[in-house]
């Protein structure tokens, strides 16, 4: 915003007045309509209709609030964090309604609507009035007063000035000049007050921040526990697998050395076995490395890594990806890959599926993955289930897991992780 010259300042004032007028209309009518629709939809929840209408209405409320957040940041640098809890795509309407109503940010938005209708309207209208109301005073001073009075009675009031003739019309013009001078110095700051009021209502409170810290602490603790368990698994696999084969191969080589001259045939037999042991040890090390961080994931990204994973599945698995050439951060890709791997394993082992579909996409700052199978259904997220581990893994990155698995199938597991693609 260029305010170094009078011309630049005047343009900034005029721009603030236009913006204030638009915000006043948006605050009054937009918030009023959304508040009425929300109240009607909530009242209709016991009748069942509200279960389907409420998600749409609340989505509109969020879009209305997000629009104000965007304008606050773009026009005056006022940052208002949204702090919404993500709702997985594909969630059924009743479950989506419960998730939205259980989000403190939803109720904060609803409290903001009446505030925006009244206080927001006033704080947006005042700077607009300072810019445009003086035009009426100038019009009265230049003869418009004759339309409203014949000079014998007060036919019009301009502010606190009763206009009854040319003299009082000139006073109205002077008042317009005073208002315009005030607008020149105050309008941008007054419009900023509108956004500061919006932030005061929409920004998350200390209680929500404490809850956020608690959740993050739990997920980080789960991540540390998972990492420790993974290290123990690697140590166990090395000890029981590759290390044991290498020790056996060393013993065979020692025996071969002793038999090389005495019994060449036996030495050749042991040499073949040692060669096979070395190949088996190499395969086990490759599997172990793949279990830690698959090379294809590091080299080609999540989409190709999931395709490679699908090729190793014993059932037909189709992969559709809309990620393009973008890449998430390595820890996010790793978490998503192993989450998909666990879900695919569950589909084969427990659901008895013979066909699986995997869809990957990224939109609105969210990595979305859905895994659908035609198995027996009945999958739940509970203690001891593989899906609980997936939920903890995703929670480390503020991700969410949603499962739709009616008896008889099909089962759809939806995962979302907030992230940006490079």
Please state, in angstroms and rounded to a whole number, the distance separating the CA atoms of residues 360 and 327: 12
Same domain? 132 vs 264: no
Helix (H, G, I), strand (E, B) or coil at 384: coil
Same domain? 104 vs 14: yes
The predicted structure's pLDDT at residue 3: 43
Same domain? 299 vs 251: no
* Centroid of chain to Cα 416: 9
Query: In terms of pLDDT, which residue wins out, 296 or 191?
Result: 191
The predicted structure's pLDDT at residue 111: 93
Same domain? 22 vs 159: yes
Query: In terms of pLDDT, which residue wins out, 131 or 226?
Result: 131
pLDDT at 20 over 50: yes
| Cα dihedral value 166, 171, 176, 181, nearest 10 | 140
User: Chain-wide mean pLDDT for the chain?
Assistant: 79
Q: Is 224 inside a domain boundary?
A: yes
Q: Is 409 inside a domain boundary?
A: yes
Same domain? 300 vs 288: no
The predicted structure's pLDDT at residue 416: 85
Q: Is 1 inside a domain boundary?
A: no
Same domain? 251 vs 378: no
Residue 380: asked if its preceding bond is cis (omega within 30°), the reply is no
Number of domains the chain contains: 3
- pLDDT band of residue 25 (cuts 50, 70, 90) is very high
Q: Is 327 inside a domain boundary?
A: yes
pLDDT at 7 over 90: no
- Please state the length of the chain: 422
pLDDT at 406 over 90: no
Give yes or no for a contact between 166 and 92, defined as CB atoms under 8 angstroms apart.
no
pLDDT at 210 over 70: no
- pLDDT band of residue 390 (cuts 50, 70, 90) is confident
The predicted structure's pLDDT at residue 244: 66
User: Residue 110 half-sphere exposure, CB side, CA atoms within 13 Å?
Assistant: 18
Q: Is 115 inside a domain boundary?
A: yes
Tens digits of residue pLDDT in 238-289 = 655 666 667 777 777 777 777 767 777 777 777 777 777 777 667 666 665 5
pLDDT at 33 over 90: yes
Tell me the Cα Rg of the chain: 34
Which letter does DSSP use for residue 241 in this model? I
Strands 316-321 and 355-363: parallel
pLDDT at 57 over 80: yes
Q: Which residues contact 379 (CB under 8 A, 6 or more apart)?
A: 346, 350, 351, 385, 387, 403, 405, 411, 413
**Domain housing 241:** 206-292
Percentage of residues in the chain having pLDDT higher than 90: 11
Same domain? 378 vs 396: yes
Please state, in angstroms and rounded to a whole number, the distance separating the CA atoms of residues 240 and 99: 46
The predicted structure's pLDDT at residue 292: 56
The predicted structure's pLDDT at residue 182: 86
pLDDT at 114 over 60: yes
Residue where one domain finishes, among candidates 292, 316, 332: 292
Of the chain, the end-to-end C-alpha distance in Å amounts to: 31
The predicted structure's pLDDT at residue 1: 43
- pLDDT band of residue 2 (cuts 50, 70, 90) is very low
Positive or negative torsion for Cα 6, 8, 14, 20: negative
The predicted structure's pLDDT at residue 122: 92
Tens digits of residue pLDDT in 134-179 = 887 777 777 766 666 655 545 677 778 777 777 777 887 888 888 8
Q: What is the CATH number of the domain that holds 368?
A: 3.30.565.10
Q: Is 371 inside a domain boundary?
A: yes
The predicted structure's pLDDT at residue 141: 77
* Centroid of chain to Cα 89: 12
The predicted structure's pLDDT at residue 195: 92
Burial classification of residue 204, based on how many CB atoms lie within 10 Å of its CB (0-12 exposed, 13-18 middle, 19 or more buried): middle
Question: Across residues 98-117, what is the average pLDDT?
Answer: 90
Question: Across residues 79-92, what is the average pLDDT?
Answer: 72
Tens digits of residue pLDDT in 189-209 = 888 999 999 998 888 766 656
Same domain? 47 vs 196: yes
The predicted structure's pLDDT at residue 194: 93
Question: Across residues 25-48, what is the average pLDDT?
Answer: 91
Please state, in angstroms and rounded to a whole number, the distance separating the CA atoms of residues 333 and 320: 16
- pLDDT band of residue 418 (cuts 50, 70, 90) is confident
- pLDDT band of residue 13 (cuts 50, 70, 90) is confident
Helix (H, G, I), strand (E, B) or coil at 372: strand
* Centroid of chain to Cα 315: 33
pLDDT at 228 over 60: no
């Amino acid at each position: 915003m260029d305010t170094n010259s009078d011309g630049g300042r005047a343009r900034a004032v005029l721009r603030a007045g236009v913006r204030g007028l638009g915000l006043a209309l948006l605050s009054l009518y937009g918030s009023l309509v959304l508040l009425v629709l929300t109240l009607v939809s909530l009242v209709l929840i016991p009748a069942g209709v509200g279960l389907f209408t409420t998600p749409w209405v609340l989505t509109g409320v969020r879009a209305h609030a997000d629009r104000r957040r965007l304008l606050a940041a773009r026009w005056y640098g006022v940052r208002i964090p949204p702090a919404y809890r993500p709702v997985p795509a594909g969630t059924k309407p009743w479950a989506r309604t419960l998730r939205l109503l259980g989000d403190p940010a939803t109720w904060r938005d609803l409290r903001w609507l009446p505030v925006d209708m009244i206080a927001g309207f006033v704080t947006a209208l005042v700077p607009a009035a300072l810019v445009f109301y003086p035009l009426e005073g100038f019009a009265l001073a230049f003869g418009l007063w004759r339309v409203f009075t014949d000079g014998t009675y007060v036919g019009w009031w301009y502010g606190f000035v009763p206009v009854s003739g040319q003299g009082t019309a000139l006073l109205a013009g002077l008042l317009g000049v005073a208002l315009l001078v005030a607008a020149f110095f105050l309008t941008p700051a007054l419009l900023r007050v509108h956004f500061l009021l919006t932030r005061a209502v929409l920004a998350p409170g200390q209680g929500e921040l404490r809850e956020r810290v608690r959740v993050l602490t739990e997920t980080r603790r789960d991540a540390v526990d998972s990492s420790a368990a993974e290290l123990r698994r690697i140590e166990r696999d090395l000890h029981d697998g590759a290390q044991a084969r290498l020790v056996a191969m060393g013993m065979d080589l020692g025996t071969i050395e002793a038999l090389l001259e005495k019994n060449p045939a036996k030495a050749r037999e042991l040499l073949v076995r040692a060669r096979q042991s070395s190949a088996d040890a190499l395969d086990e090390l490759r599997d172990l490395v793949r279990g830690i961080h698959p090379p294809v994931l590091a080299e080609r990204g999540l989409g190709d890594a999931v395709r490679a994973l699908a090729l190793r599945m014993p059932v037909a698995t189709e992969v559709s990806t809309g990620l393009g050439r973008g890449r998430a951060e390595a820890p996010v890709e790793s978490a998503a890959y192993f989450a998909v791997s666990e879900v695919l394993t569950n589909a084969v082992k427990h659901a008895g599926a013979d066909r699986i579909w995997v869809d990957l996409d990224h939109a609105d700052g969210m990595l979305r993955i859905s895994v659908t199978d035609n198995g027996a259904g009945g999958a739940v997220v509970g203690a001891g289930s593989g899906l609980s581990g997936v939920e903890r893994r995703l929670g480390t990155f503020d991700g969410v897991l949603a499962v739709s698995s009616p008896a008889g199938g099909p089962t759809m597991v939806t995962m979302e992780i907030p992230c940006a693609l490079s």
